[in-house]
Structure 1
Amino acid sequence: MERARTMIKKGMRRQIVLHYILVVSLALLLVEVIFLLAIRTNYYDSVYNKITTHISTAEYFQKYQILGEHAPFQLQDLLDRFSLSNTELEVLTLKGDMVTSSTGFQPDRTITTSDVPEAAGGSIGRWVGKQPGTNESVMAVSKILQIHGRDAYILRYLTSVEGINEDLLNLTLLSIGIGVAVLAIVVLFSFGLANSIVKPLNNITAVSAQMAKGRFNTRIKGNYKYEIADLAATLNYMAEEIVRSNQTKDDFISSISHELRTPLTSIKGWSETLISGGYDPEETKLGMGIISRESDRLIGLVEEILDFSKLQQNEMKLSIGIVNVKVLLQETILNIWAKAEKKRIVLLLECDEAIYVKGDANRLKQVFLNLVDNAVKFSHEDSSIVLTAQRFSASETAIIVRDSGIGISDDHISRVRDRFFQVDALNGGTGLGLAISQQLVELHHGKIEMNSELGKGTQVTVILPLTDELPSSMIVTEGQL
C-alpha cells in the first residue's frame, strides 16, 4: 500500500501516468464509439436492405404476373405476395390508418411513426423505436404501392431488432473489456516509462544536491539516453569546470600573493632601513628608487585586477576617438624598449601608412603593451619581435605581434586567454593580461587570433574594423589653405 502511494505521489511520474491514461482513454473511447456505431449501422442497414429488396421483387411480380390490369383486387393476395418471414406486414392508407396486417390484429389502429409520411411522400420510410404496448425494439420500413393506377396503399414492414440489440450489447461489453485490458497494459507501460525518466532525474537531482554542498568531485553515472544524457553530461562538465575554476582561483591567489609579497617585502625592508638612518645620499637614493619601482609594480597589479573587475561587470568606459595605428605601435615600442634592451631583443615595426581605427587609444595601447610584453618575456636573448600592421580586408586591419620565442603547446594554446591562467607561473603576473586584452578588443568589435608552435615562436593577430574618418588635427579647412 505504501509503495503504491509512493508511486503515485505528486511529481513527474504522476503527471506522465495521468497524461498517458487520459490520452489512451480518450483514444479508446473514440475508437469504441466509432466501432459500435459502425456495427450498429451495418446491422440495421442489412435489415433495411433485405426488406427494401424484398419490396422491389414482390412489387415486380405483383405488377406483371399476379394482378393484371382488369383482375379483381384482393387484400389477401397483397398480403400473400408481399409477406416476408419473421416480419409483420401492415397495409395502411395514406393517412396511416391500418387496413389489414399479416397478423390480423388491431385493424383499426392508426400508425403515426415517421416512416408513414415519408412513404406517403414517395420515398421509402424508415423508423426504429419501441413498439407501443409491448415496448419491444422494432424497425419499420414503409413504401407506397399503386393498385391498377387507382388505389394507393402503404405497405409497412415491422420487424424486431431485439436480437440485434442483444448482439450489439454483447459487442459493447466485449469492447469495454478489451478497452479496460488495453488501458491496464498502458498504465503498466506508463509506470515503466515514467520510472525510466524519473529515476535518472532523481539520480541527477541527488548528485546535483551533493554538488551544491561543494562536493564537486561527485559525478553523475549511468548509461542515459537522449536529453537526459545531455543533461547529465552538462552537469558533469559544469562540475569539471567548477573544479578547474577553483583550482585556477587557488593558483591565482597563490600567484598574486607571491606577486604582492615580493614588492611589499622590498618596500618594507628599504623603508625600515632608511628610517634607521646613517646612510649616505647614494644609498638613500638607491633605496628610494627601489621603493618607487616596487610601488609602481604594485599599482600595475592592482590596476590590472580593477580593469578585469570592471570588464566582468560591464562597467568599462571607453573614450572613443580616431586612432592612428602606426603612432600607437610606435608608442608601444618606446614603452617596451627598455625591457627588450635588457635581453638584447630587437623590436621591428612594419606598418602601412594611413591606417586608422575608431576606439580608445589608451585601452588599445594597453592591449598591445600586454602582447609585446608577453612576447619579450617568452623570447630568447638576441632575438627579434616584429609588429606588423596591414589592411586585412576592405573594412578591417590586422595588427600582428610575432616572436621566435619558446612558443605555446597545443594543450595550453586554447587556455591562454582564460582568466588567471598562466603558462609559466614562475614568470610572475596575474594571468589576467590576455583575458583583459581579449575583452578590450571585443569591446572594439574586433577579435584576437593566436597561432603558436612549441619551440618556434608565437604569432598573435588583432583584427579591428577600419574607419574612413580622420583625426581632427589632420582635417584642413578651406580657411587654412
Structure 2
Amino acid sequence: MIKKGIGRQIVMHYFIVIFLALMLVEVVFLFAIRAYYYDTIYNSISSHIDVTVRSALISTSAGDYGEMEYLSQILALLKLPEAELQILNGKGEILISSSGFPSDKLVQTSDIPQALASGSTSKWIGRQATTGEPVMAVTTTLQPGGGQVYLARFVTSIEKVNQRLTEITLVSMAIIAAILVIVLIVSIGLANSIVRPINNIIAVSAQMAKGRFDVRVEGDYRYELGEMGSTLNYMAEEIVRSNQIKDDFISSISHELRTPLTSIKGWSETLDSGGYDPDETRIGMGIISKETERLIGLVEELLDFSKLQQNEMKLTMAHVELKELLKEIVLNVWAKAELKKVQLRLDADGDSFPVYGDANRLKQVFLNIVDNAIKFSHESSVIVLHVVREDGWVRTAVQDSGIGIDEENLKRVKDRFFQVNTQGGGTGLGLAITQQLVELHEGELNMTSELGVGTTVSVKLPLLEEESKSREEISGEKSSDQESSDTESI
C-alpha cells in the first residue's frame, strides 16, 4: 500500500488515465468484433438468398402445384446447412419448416414486418421463445408470379459465436489486467523517482530549519527538482555567509564603539581628577568631542540602515543643483584630502545639472563615495569627479587611482556589513546605504575597479524633467529659426 502523499497521487492519476483509455479501447474493440462476426453470418445468408431466391422463383410455378407442394419445392431449393428455413405467410404463421416440426405460434419478431414493409431482406437477433437459444433470423419476401406473398425466414444459432466473443472478451480483459499491472509498477517507480528526491530535500530543509546550515542536498537531480535543490543549497550558503558577515560586523562595531568610549571615559576621569593646565584640558575636551561625533556618526549610520530596511526613510524632494552640491562636498573633504596630499578635481561638462531629490541624502551619498576614494587613495594622487549629461540622465563618476578592489570582493562590496579591509574601521554599511539611497532617487550606482589601478564609482540620476523639456523646446526653436532663415535666403 502506498502511503498518502504526492507519490500516491501520481500513481492514481496514471492508473486512472490508463484504465479509462484501455476501457474505451476495450469497448470499441468488442463492439467491432461482435459486429464483424454477426455481419459475416448475415452477409453469408444474404448472399445465399440473392443467389437462390430468383432461381427458385423461376424454376417453380405455383400454378403447377398445390400450395404445400409448391412450398416444399421452394424449401428444398432454398435450404441452407446449419440454418433452419421457415416459410411463413403474411400473418407470420409458419407454413412449413426445414426442421420438420410444425408450429402453431405466430412469429412476432421485428424482421417480419420490416421485410413486408420494405420488400427486401431484414435481420433480427435475439433468443428463441421456446428454447431460449440465441439466434439470428434473416427474412426475405417471396411473391411468385405476383400472387400471394410468402416469407422465407432463415434462423441460425449464434451460440457458438457468442461463446467465441466471450473468449475474446476474457482474453482482452486479461491483457488489460496485465497492462494495468505493468502501468502500476512503472508509475510506482516513476513516483518514487520524484518523491525520493523531494523527501531528501524536505529532510535537508528540516535540518536547516534547526540551524544546521552545513548540510546540503546531495544528488544530481534534473529539471525543477535539480533547480529546487540548487536553490536550497545556495540559500544555505548565503545564510552562512550572512551569518559570517553579521559576526564580523558585531566584532567590528564592538571595537568601533569600544575605542571612542574608552577615550571618552579615560579623559573624563582624568579631567575630573583636576590639576591640569588649560592646554591639557582643551586637548582632552577636544578628544572627547571628536570621539563623541564619531559615535554619533556610527549610530546615525545604523539608524539610517534600519530605516531603509523597514522602508521608513522619508525624503524631502526638491530641485537640487548637482554641480553646486558637489562643490560643497569637495570643500567639506578638502582638509582630509590635504592630510594625504590628495588633489580633488571637479570636471563638469556644462553649467547646470538639475535633479529632483533630497539634497541632504544626495550629499550623504557623494560624501560617502568621495570619503572612500580619499581613504583608499595613495598619497599625492588625484581624484576626479566627472559630471556629464546622458539622454535624460546626469552621470557622476568619482574616479581614483588608489589600491583598487579585486573581482571577487567587487561583487560583494555593496552587501551590508561587508568590508574589504576589516582593519580599516567602520560598520560596512556605507555602500549598502548609498546604494539604497540612490535607488530611492530612481537612479543607478555602478562600480568598476582593478586591483592596484583604482576604482570608479558611477551614480546616474534622472535629469529634472522640466529642464529636459525646456532644453528640447529651445533646441526645437533653434531648429525652426534655422529652417526659417534658410527659407528666407532661398
Match of 2:19 among 25, 35, 42: 25
- Per-residue CA deviations over 1:279-314 (Å, capped at 9, x if unaligned) read 222222221121111111111111111111111111
* Pair 1:85-2:85 in alignment: no
| Root-mean-square deviation (Å) | 2.0
Match of 1:363 among 361, 364, 367: 361
Are the equivalent residues in 2 in contact too, given 1:322–1:470 (CA < 8 A)? no
Following superposition of structure 1 onto structure 2, how do residues 392-431 of structure 1 map, counting pairs within 5 Å? Answer: 392-393=390-391, 395-431=392-428
Match of 2:351 among 353, 358, 366: 353
* Pair 1:216-2:210 in alignment: no
Deviation larger for 103-112 or 42-51 = 103-112
Residue type matched to 2:170 in 1? L
Matching residue of 2:59: 66
Matching residue of 1:154: 151
Following superposition of structure 1 onto structure 2, how do residues 451-462 of structure 1 map, counting pairs within 5 Å? Answer: 451-462=448-459
**Cα distance between partner residues in 1 of 2:80 and 2:122:** 17
Matching residue of 1:290: 287
- Per-residue CA deviations over 1:125-152 (Å, capped at 9, x if unaligned) read 2221111111111112222333223332
Matching residue of 1:51: 45
Matching residue of 2:330: 333
Matching residue of 1:342: 339
- Per-residue CA deviations over 1:48-94 (Å, capped at 9, x if unaligned) read 1111222212234235x424798668212322232221111222333
Deviation larger for 10-19 or 273-282 = 10-19
Q: Give the SS at the match of 2:352.
A: coil
Match of 1:226 among 216, 219, 223: 223
* Pair 1:40-2:34 in alignment: yes
* Pair 1:246-2:243 in alignment: yes
Residue type matched to 2:44 in 1? K
Matching residue of 2:183: 186
Residue type matched to 1:97 in 2? E
Match of 2:174 among 162, 174, 177: 177
Identity of aligned residues (%): 58
**Cα distance between partner residues in 1 of 2:459 and 2:344:** 18
Matching residue of 1:237: 234
Deviation larger for 243-252 or 342-351 = 342-351
**Cα distance between partner residues in 1 of 2:250 and 2:17:** 59
Residue type matched to 2:439 in 1? E
Are the equivalent residues in 1 in contact too, given 2:249–2:417 (CA < 8 A)? yes
The offset of 1:416, in angstroms, is 0.6
The offset of 1:433, in angstroms, is 1.0
* Pair 1:307-2:300 in alignment: no
Q: Which runs of 5+ in 2 are unaligned?
A: 469-490
Are the equivalent residues in 2 in contact too, given 1:446–1:464 (CA < 8 A)? yes
Are the equivalent residues in 2 in contact too, given 1:451–1:460 (CA < 8 A)? yes
Change in 2 beyond 3 A, CA 1:85/1:414 = same
Are the equivalent residues in 1 in contact too, given 2:329–2:367 (CA < 8 A)? yes
Residue type matched to 1:428 in 2? G
Are the equivalent residues in 2 in contact too, given 1:356–1:468 (CA < 8 A)? no
Are the equivalent residues in 1 in contact too, given 2:263–2:288 (CA < 8 A)? yes
Change in 2 beyond 3 A, CA 1:110/1:214 = same
Matching residue of 1:390: 388
Q: Give the SS at the match of 1:151.
A: coil
Match of 2:106 among 106, 110, 135: 110
Are the equivalent residues in 1 in contact too, given 2:61–2:144 (CA < 8 A)? no
Match of 2:6 among 4, 7, 12: 12
TM-score, length-scaled by structure 1 = 0.91
Residue type matched to 1:275 in 2? D
**Cα distance between partner residues in 2 of 1:454 and 1:316:** 35
Are the equivalent residues in 2 in contact too, given 1:322–1:469 (CA < 8 A)? no
